Structure 1
């Protein structure tokens, strides 16, 4: 089983996000394999949800496209399980607590393990309530990835102390989406984390250009990109795979630059 820390071993990690089932499950399958090939170190697969509170319009629309195309959680699990043996980098689900509980948390974790997932990110479970999921995650060996936000301040150390896998550092207030510039003092956030743990920290929300990816990766252990990739998927639909692969290559090269 791939463990998340492998994505960061002796290198800065590039972490792309795609919405599972957008524009179709077949394309999602091709995207996962193509992004791995293009140099992704860890892949986040978003689980479509009708009320994704942390997402901006780009990912909300991707969720709607996937749901309209007949996506179901079972079909997503089945598809990832089909390619599990071809995937040699860690993958994590990005989801909300509602889909996990609706599906049944034991069954959700069991199926995640069956399809080779290493972890899960659940933005709407605050640190104080993570007990709702941490027990069942531990039981199945799925790492529950924590998020820290620019507003976390005194909570950063508290969250970091118990973090697993990697810490998802949210670069900007508000929802996901491409930002012209990232003004948060990421360096300061990472310093607070480093006072209590050496867990890898990757920065997400707002990164779209190679320059931003390089800058964020130079301050942390990696860069996460979602909306910019989902926009490419939206633009090219069924033909998006080579365009996404090209973008991932470019972003991975920028992140590698940061590590030199």
Structure 2
């Protein structure tokens, strides 16, 4: 049983998925952040692989990518940092990134290294569906990796059903057509989109991302899906002065109440 699948079976709602960029704020913070997130009550963790052109991400996450790359973070180094992570962290871990660094790393090697470290899934926004099905799916499945696709308010019903049929774990439900961190709050238009998707009877659970930053927006997302993803707001927490673990604990607990 994949940890992600298991999570949604044991806790079908109010799932909190927290995103952070590997190598930010400091190069060696990755494991400390993972441990602090689990201890504070996060259900699932999404580690961003730094990339020079993160097209889906807004200014806050782009800036964290720049800092992480300047710090010297690479995919190879991230794999080294995660080598013994399953002796310290038990909740599901997903890697989020763009396909270019993974192709350079070598797809077979990347998937094997993910499996070795207990990574549960991947979010690759620029991986086309047809390429996933023809090239990547067998390698992902062999290594127990779930591929998580994104949908937006502009995604057609036919496309949403195709994504639902060809994925497992959960669907990343982008709340708006903007980049990450661009909006706060959830509009009536967004709620109508959430309800439209809810009525489709999809087999996969859904997490809402983009614009989730506090208890109010988390609660609203949980009314419309199985939970939510917080990214930009958490990156801002990591930038704060003071004790990193304490800041993480206070923030996560303020969100989940």
TM-score (normalizing by structure 2) = 0.91
Written as runs of structure 1 = structure 2, the 5 A alignment for 1:148-163 is: 148-154=151-157, 155-163=159-167
Aligned to 1:68: 70
Q: 153-162 vs 48-57, which deviates more?
A: 153-162
Q: CA deviation at 1:245?
A: 2.0
The total of aligned residue pairs comes to 249
**Contiguous gaps of at least 5 residues in structure 2:** none
Paired with 1:129 and 1:83, the residues of 2 have a C-alpha distance of: 30
Paired with 1:174 and 1:69, the residues of 2 have a C-alpha distance of: 28
Q: 2:29 aligns with which of 19, 23, 27?
A: 27
Question: Secondary structure, in 3 states, of the residue corresponding to 1:81?
Answer: coil
Q: CA deviation at 1:18?
A: 0.6
Q: CA deviation at 1:45?
A: 0.3
Conserved? CA contact 2:41–2:252, under 8 Å: yes
Q: 1:187 aligns with which of 161, 173, 195?
A: 195
Paired with 2:243 and 2:105, the residues of 1 have a C-alpha distance of: 32
Matched, 1:219 2:227: no
Q: 2:144 aligns with which of 130, 141, 144?
A: 141
**Contiguous gaps of at least 5 residues in structure 1:** 254-260
Distance 1:2 1:85, change over 3 A: farther
Q: CA deviation at 1:168?
A: 0.7
Conserved? CA contact 1:169–1:204, under 8 Å: yes
Paired with 1:239 and 1:27, the residues of 2 have a C-alpha distance of: 12
Runs of 4+ more than 6 Å apart: none
Distance 1:178 1:239, change over 3 A: farther
Paired with 1:90 and 1:25, the residues of 2 have a C-alpha distance of: 22
Aligned to 1:176: 180
CA RMSD of aligned residues (A): 1.6
Paired with 2:27 and 2:195, the residues of 1 have a C-alpha distance of: 38
